[in-house]
Structure 1
Amino acid sequence: MSPSRKVTGFTLIEVLMAMAVLALAGISMLGLSSENTRNSVIIEEKMLASWVADNKLVAIRLLKKWPPTHWQKEEQELAGRTWYIRSRSVKTTQDDFRGIDVEVRKSPNTESPPLVIMQTYMVQG
């Protein structure tokens, strides 16, 4: 090679550094993608559970009758899943006015925290 000819291109160290930077970026993107997928499942469950709770509150309003003051349990199918619902009425200072509580869980175990808790108020009659 003559001294006047200029060599162009990347050195081995430059190529290795570029590959290391790309590998780190790829690993972090993979982690973000995994977390995003996990969060999507949780959001879907909470959305479906809120629909179940909302449906229960609508059913109570259509009956125009308060649920009992003790927890009443039932199961409901929605989106190919079984949801476990608890509902009750809570006395207030007004005799014709009560609070209504509805909880929805993925399992019948009432020790686990509910996915959704909805509360509303209802006048008798």
Structure 2
Amino acid sequence: MANERSETAECGFTLLEMLVALSIISIAALTLVRLDAFAVRSAGDLDERTMAGIVAQNRAVELWTDPAPPTIGSNVSSVANAGRNWQIEQRVAPTADDSLLRIDLTVRPESGRGQATLTIIRPSR
């Protein structure tokens, strides 16, 4: 009967085992919280980049449909769209073909990190 447990033997976990288990669970929980915060921040950045791209496309359509070509050089303007203020940097340069202009647009929110760039080619006349 040496293999049988005695009636007085205690069953359960020791304090050290419980502390190790709680430490492992808390580390896993903290990792999940960090991943969740990263996902929320990434979604916000993606939203800003998407809206910046829409603002850039709107400006490109304005430039493409304007009968007068833009002047060569750089300028910065601001526009309100989707309840936010955006800064549009516009660079106009001639191309190897004198009848075409290259227009580079960079759109950034006035407060935030998202950005979009867009390049179009339009007739110079």
Fold match (TM-score > 0.5)? yes
- Structure 1 stretches lacking a partner, 5+ long: none
Note the alpha carbon deviations across 1:17-60, whole angstroms, 9 max, x for none. Answer: 11111001011111111222222221111111111001100111
1:70 pairs with 2:68: no
Structure 1 ranges of 4+ moved more than 3 A: 4-8
Larger Rg over CA atoms: 2
Residues 72 and 103 of structure 1, relative CA distance in 2, 3 Å threshold: same
1:101 pairs with 2:107: no
Q: What amino acid sits opposite 1:102 in the alignment? A: L
- Structure 2 stretches lacking a partner, 5+ long: none
Q: Distance in 2 between matches of 1:16 and 1:92?
A: 70
1:60 pairs with 2:80: no
1:79 pairs with 2:106: no
1:19 to 8, 17, 22: 22
Q: Distance in 2 between matches of 1:68 and 1:86?
A: 14
Query: Would you say how many aligned residue pairs link Structure 1 and Structure 2?
Result: 120
User: Identity over the aligned pairs, expressed in percent?
Assistant: 24
- Larger RCO: 1 or 2 (CA < 8 Å, sep 6+): 2
Q: Distance in 2 between matches of 1:21 and 1:86?
A: 50
Q: What amino acid sits opposite 1:51 in the alignment? A: I
Cross-structure match for 1:116: 116
Q: What amino acid sits opposite 1:123 in the alignment? A: P
Q: CA deviation at 1:124?
A: 4.0
TM-score in terms of structure 2 length? 0.80
Cross-structure match for 2:36: 33
Q: What amino acid sits opposite 1:52 in the alignment? A: V
RMSD: 2.5
TM-score in terms of structure 1 length? 0.80
Worse-superposed segment, 3-12 or 37-46: 3-12
Tell me if structure 1 keeps the 8 A contact 2:56–2:116: yes
SS of the equivalent of 2:72 reads coil
